[in-house]
Amino acid sequence: MFDFTPTDWQAMELSARVALTATLAALPFGFAAAYLLVFSRLPGKALFDGLMNLPLVLPPVVVGYLLLLLLGRNGWLGGLLEELGIRIIFTWKAAVLASMVVGFPLLVRSIRTGMEGIDLRLIQASRTLGARWYDSLFTIVLPLSGRAILAGASLMFARSLGEFGATIIIAGNIPGVTQTIPLAIYDYTGAPGGEGMALGLCLVSIALAFAVLIFNQLMVKRLEREHPQ
Amino acid sequence: MKMDVSLCKTLGNFRFATEFALEGSRIGIFGPSGSGKSTLMHLLAGLHKPDQGSIRIDGETLFDDTQRISLSPEKRRIGVVFQQAHLFPHMGVRQNLLYGYRRIPKRQRKIDPQALIAVLGLESLLGRNVTSLSGGERQRVALGRTVLSCPRLILMDEPLNGLDEGLKYQIIPYLKRVFDEFDIPLLFISHSLNEMRLMTDEVLEFQAGQLIGHTTAEDLARRRMGNSQVGYINLLPLGEYRQIGDLHAYSWGNQELVLSVSGEGAAGMFELSSKDITLFKRHPEASSARNLLRCRVTKLFGAGNRVGVEMECGGQPLVAQVVGEAVDDLGLVPGRELVAVIKASAFRRLY
């Protein structure tokens, strides 16, 4: 039906790789952030909460630009990494980073909802039975938020597949290197006669996102059955 | 166990402040809801931090704000059995039971899991999922889980509250057996006088965040007879029984009580209100009531506008209540012989 070029296949493979890496890399941070938001008594919790959710409402281009300022050759982190011989900007790692930042609020929100459903008494019970806080964290909180983590991860994965604004700014649009599906579609729409191919990639994109969302919905439903509110 | 406690905690409008020192192994914390019983439990277990004060158990300081000592819950070795069992839903019964046991050093493992499982009758539940257990079973597993963590003290926060009215007392024999067998001090929190009398030797009475009395459950029950609708509850341990028609005759001390209780008869604990006992000077030749017992008055006590009559019936104690006028009519004085008349239907099985 659609005759995808090797570059298109590369875009699909790269999209999957970027989304998967971004999701896996964000998981521990997402879990920690949700744990702090739900269980800690940090003084600046409201501020922290707002900061967590900011990428959800900011234009991705703004996120991308801020990351560029931070990680560019003249940025303080970018300069530091350059001395260590690490380059992030305009590599696929930049695309991962863009996806991580943009998708992070979705991951945290989902895990947080799951954690809020955990009865505090279960954690107290484990503590009085001799578990230290980190023991409780790994034997009670983690397993009981398992489905919420999975649901959040799938949501973030889907969001990462569609990430465009931040990616094009810090990773660029280099075919075979940083060109993911949305960027490839963008290229096709600008090129004469590319409409058909753009549509083909759109369908791939829709199919992938839809599959992930269905998986996410199934997880959320199971969660609701187990922790009725 | 020796306990020395002085605590202050403000929670919103509620202020909890208490100071007590006690020695014992079956201690009750009694009071209406909102009296601070649960607050005390949370403070002792280290689940809430006191504003100030100190907690010392058997010479060890668990909390002292002046010395900046505040042991975390897992280091206090105080086991807690909550109102609802709060079993870990993602683990099976066996994993729940052994959760604490696996976390204590080997030298502290003084209780053999097999022995405890036998005492609590949990053998058949071990492979089960906790979500499939009944309320009573869940509470037994929760108790087992806490006991196996070999704590120096167990706090039980209204452990019978979440159970069905008809079944709640059935867990009492298990509780008694566990605490007799494994010799762990107990702090039992409840607003039920019956539970207090069945489980504790001495009682701390709380009201509005303050300790208002240090007494026994028996004493509390007598004091409350005056303003209680149900009177004083006699707790009667009844033994062997024989069938008489559709009634059961249970042995009680060296005599028998005739009861019309439904269901299978078996030895157990029964309750009888002081209001359901009628006293006669002489033996009434015949009566519709099935129990006519010869008793001797041992003591009279006042409670409100009622008089409690403590008697001795074939070696067993029994408390009836009368109004002041009846004291004169019957000539009630210690040593006086009487006949107590009780209907067969006045008894209720607790367990």
Q: What is the CATH number of the domain that holds B277?
A: 2.40.50.100
Residue B216: per-residue pLDDT: 94
Q: Has residue B30 been placed in a domain? A: yes
The answer to whether the CB of A163 falls within 8 A of the CB of A122 is no
Residue in B46, B84, B149 closest to A129 by CB: B149
pLDDT of residue B305: 86
| Structural domain contains residue B222 | no
On whether both B237 and B295 belong to a single domain, the answer is yes
- pLDDT on residue A75: 83
Q: What is the full DSSP assignment across B263-283?
A: S---SEEEEEEGGGEEEESS-
Decide: helix, strand or coil at residue B216. coil
| DSSP label of A228 | -
Terminal CA-to-CA distance of chain A, rounded, Å?
Answer: 47
Q: Does B286 share its domain with B148?
A: no
Q: Would B227 be classed as within a structural domain?
A: no
Q: With beta carbons under 8 A apart, name residues in chain A contacting B48.
A: none
Whether B73 and chain A come into contact, CB under 8 Å, resolves to: yes
Place of tokens 């020192």: B21
Place A140 in a pLDDT band, splitting at 50, 70 and 90: very high
Q: Does B281 touch chain A (CB under 8 A)?
A: no
- Token digits of residue A45: 């919790």
Query: Do B165 and B99 share a domain, yes or no?
Result: yes
What is the average pLDDT score of chain A? Answer: 90
Q: Whole-angstrom Cα distance, residue B182 to residue A163?
A: 62
| The pair of three-digit structure tokens given for residue A222, joined into one six-digit string | 């199971």
Determine the residue type at B291: N
Cβ of residue B182 closer than 8 Å to a chain A Cβ: no
| C-alpha separations of A162 from A16, A67, A167 in Å | 10, 18, 10
| Residue B228 falls inside a structural domain | no
A226 has pLDDT over 70: no
Measured N-to-C along each axis, helices A181-190 and A6-39 cross at an angle, to the nearest 10 degrees, of 130
Q: Among B215, B241, B260, where does a domain finish?
A: B215
Is residue B317 classed as helix, strand or coil in its secondary structure?
strand
**Length of chain A, please?**
229
Same domain, B79 and B25: yes
Residues B112 and B256 in one domain: no
What is the per-residue DSSP string for B57-114? Answer: ETTEEEEETTTTEE--HHHHTEEEE-SS----TTSBHHHHHHTTGGGS-GGG--S-HH
Residues B327 and B285 occupy one common structural domain: yes
Query: Contact, B146 vs A129, CB < 8 A?
Result: yes
DSSP 8-state assignment for residue B239: -
The percentage of residues in chain A with a pLDDT greater than 90, rounded to a whole number, is 65
Average pLDDT over residues A93-121: 94
Q: And the tokens for B220?
A: 């509390």
Percent of chain A with pLDDT over 70: 97
Q: CB contact, 8 Å: B86 with chain A?
A: yes
Q: Which residues of B touch A127 (CB under 8 A)?
A: 46-47, 72-74
Average pLDDT over residues A179-195: 90
Say yes or no to pLDDT of A190 above 90: no
Single-letter code of the amino acid located at A71: L
Q: In terms of domains, do B72 and B127 share one? A: yes
Name chain A contacts of B46, Cβ cutoff 8 Å.
127-128
**Could you state, in chain order, the average pLDDT of each consecutive group of 10 residues for chain B (351 residues)?**
95 93 94 91 95 95 95 95 92 96 92 92 93 91 95 93 79 88 92 91 94 93 87 93 90 91 80 95 89 95 91 94 92 94 93 87
Q: Which of A71-80, A219-228, B76-85, B249-258 has the weakest average pLDDT? A: A219-228
A 21-40 residues inside an 8 A Cβ radius of B: none
Confirm whether B225 is domain-assigned.
no
Q: Do A130 and B100 touch (CB under 8 A)?
A: yes
**Closest alpha carbon within chain B to A147:** B90
Q: How far apart are CA B281 and CA B332, in angstroms?
A: 9
Residue B187, φ and ψ in degrees, nearest 5: -115, 110
Let me know: does A97 contact A170? Beta carbons within 8 Å.
Answer: yes
Tokens read off for B54: 């100190």
Q: Is 60 exceeded by the pLDDT of residue A228? A: no
Q: Which two tokens stand for residue B190?
A: 């409840």
- Do B172 and B211 lie in one domain? The reply is yes
**Alpha-carbon gap, residue A219 to A222, rounded angstroms:** 5
Contact B100 A127 (CB under 8 A): no
CA distances from residue A180 to A95, A119, A144, A173 in whole angstroms, order as listed: 9, 42, 35, 8
Order of strands, sheet of B241-244, starting from the edge strand that comes earlier in the sequence: B241-244, B247-252, B255-259
Counted domains in chain B? 2
Residue B326, in any domain of the structure: yes
Residue B75 belongs to a domain: yes
> Is B38 an interface residue toward A (CB < 8 Å)?
no
- Of B300, B350, B349, the C-alpha closest to B320 is B300
Best of B76, B99, B146 to substitute, by most chain A Cβ atoms within 10 angstroms, is B99
The Cα–Cα gap between A104 and B184 comes to: 49
B244: helix, coil or strand? Answer: strand
Residues B270 and B300 reside in one and the same domain: yes
Helix (H, G, I), strand (E, B) or coil at B336: coil
* Beta pairing class for B78-81 and B241-244: unpaired
Cβ A213 vs Cβ A152: under 8 Å: no
Same domain, B31 and B93: yes
Q: How confident is the model at residue A227 (pLDDT cuts 50, 70, 90)?
A: low
> Does the beta carbon of A124 lie under 8 angstroms from any beta carbon of chain B?
yes
Q: Is A120 on the interface with B (CB under 8 A)?
A: no
The Cα B270–Cα A149 span in angstroms is: 52
Q: Which amino acid type is present at position B332? A: L
CA separation for the pair B142, B158 (Å, rounded)? 13
User: B122 is written with which tokens?
Assistant: 């949990």
B82 has a chain A CB within 8 A of its CB = yes
One domain for residues B154 and B32: yes
Helices A45-57 and A92-116, packing angle to 10 deg: 130
pLDDT confidence tier of residue A229, bands split at 50, 70 and 90: very low
Q: Can you tell me the distance from the alpha carbon of B342 to that of B347, in angstroms, rounded to the nearest whole number? A: 9
Q: What CATH number is given to the structural domain containing B174?
A: 3.40.50.300
* Domain boundary, last residue among B187, B215, B243: B215
Query: How far apart, in whole angstroms, are the C-alpha atoms of residue B112 and residue B33?
Result: 36
Q: Are residues B178 and B282 in the same domain?
A: no
Whether B49 has its CB under 8 Å from any CB of chain A: the answer is no
- Distance CA(A62)–CA(A70), nearest Å, equals 12
Q: What domains sit in chain A, N to C, each tagged with a CATH number? A: 6-222 (1.10.3720.10)
Indicate if ipTM > 0.95: no
Residue B97 lies in a domain: yes
Task: Give the lowest-confidence range in A6-20, A74-88, B28-42, B283-297.
Answer: A74-88
Residue span of the structural domain in which B197 resides: 2-215
B104/A130 touch (CB, cutoff 8 Å), yes or no? yes
Task: Answer with the one of B215, B247, B279 that is the final residue of a domain.
Answer: B215
Element housing B291 (H / E): strand B291-303
- Confidence band, pLDDT 50/70/90 cuts, at residue A80: confident
Q: How many CB pairs under 8 A join A and B?
A: 63
User: A131 at the B interface (CB within 8 A)?
Assistant: yes
